[in-house]
Structure formats: structure tokens, C-alpha cells
Amino acid sequence: MLGMGFYPKVVRDEKFVRGKSYMLVSNHTSMTDIMMMLHVAKNPFVFVGKAELAKLPLFGFFYKRTCILVDRGNARSRKEVFDQAQRRLSQGMSICIFPEGGVPNDLSLVLDTFKDGAFRLAIDHQIPIVPITFYDNKERFPYFFFKGSPGKMRARVHNFIQTLGLTQDDKRALRDNTREVILGELEKRD
């Protein structure tokens, strides 16, 4: 990322344990979020992403080979995500989901609502949630032409949120708590 004029800086409230699986979640504001996540998380992980992005020329070729694809409108596809995630977790991998479900078109929106998938999977597999805040990605490389600039790209890996003993009845509270951690950090950034 340095060659592109981006200078990543990561603060870690808690460190990853090698060989342990996690559910990585962060705000989604830029095309650089994927690169930044690869910089932040040193443990092997796989993204869960929207199936329609696999149709993009060239990008789609690599995307469908490196991601678990989901068609959110298809119940069978959502079930297949669970099965694929189970296989990856049993291999000691982590899963990364951007729970906003996409990058908001509204640049003034700080953080969109979170969808349930990441939290349902984390509870089902009893793996910790790792909230991660990306502060600067939207300013560095937004989804709009002729916007953005080189500079710092800061991230914070927050304390992990444990799911051990939680059930699907706890999913909404887990989702809302995770969103509040990231939103609170975005609202106080300098």
C-alpha cells in the first residue's frame, strides 16, 4: 500500500493468537478496505462477499476464487455460506464480513446499519468477534472518481467480543454492541 501513497498505521487493543479463528468485522467505506484488512489481520482468513461482484471483469475472476460468495436473496446460498464457513473454520481460518453489506453511496453516512450474518456465524461457531475501525479509507480512496488523496490510513483493532455460551437469542445485542464499538470510535476520531 505504500507504493500507492497510503501509509497504514494500526493500533491494537488486543492481539490475534496464531491458529485461532475469529470473525473480523469493520466499517466498509472504500475499495481499499480489502487491502487494509489484509494488512491488519495476519491470521489466514477468507472474505464473505456479495455474489454479484463475481460478474465484474477480471476482478470477478480472482474474487470468486478467494471469497465465500453469498446471494443474500437466496436461502440456499445463505446455507451454503454456513457450510463453506464451517470448512474454513475447521482449517483454522478466520472469516471477514463487512456487516454493512456494501459501501454506502452517501458520503455523509458515518456507519450504515449492520446485517446479521457475521453475528449468526460467530455465535454458531462460538468464535470471537473482532471489531475493527477504519478511520481514513473513505477520504483516501472513496467510490467516487476524482476524490481522495494519499496519506495515512489508520485502523484500530478493538478488544475482541466473546461469543462463548451465546445463542441466536443474543444475536441482535451482539450485532448492536459491535456496531456501537465501531461507531463510537468513528464519532470521536480526530
CB 123 within 8 A of CB 177: no
The tens digit of pLDDT for each residue in 132-145 reads 998 876 665 655 55
Q: Which residue has the higher pLDDT, 21 or 67?
A: 21
* Distance, CA of 149 to CA of 157 (rounded, Å): 24
Taking the alpha carbons at both ends of the chain, their separation in whole angstroms is: 22
Give the residue extent of every domain in the chain: 2-188
The tens digit of pLDDT for each residue in 77-98 reads 777 878 888 888 888 899 999 8
Evaluate if residue 44 carries a pLDDT over 50: yes
Q: Which pLDDT belongs to residue 139?
A: 67
Question: Which pTM was predicted?
Answer: 0.85
Task: Fill in the amino acid letter for 3.
Answer: G
Q: At what angle do helices 117-125 and 171-188 cross, to 10 degrees?
A: 120
The tens digit of pLDDT for each residue in 140-185 reads 565 555 665 666 888 999 999 999 999 999 999 999 999 999 999 9
Topology given in CATH for the domain delimited by 2-188: Glycerol-3-phosphate (1)-acyltransferase (3.40.1130)
Q: Which residue has the higher pLDDT, 175 or 27?
A: 175
Q: Which pLDDT belongs to residue 145?
A: 56
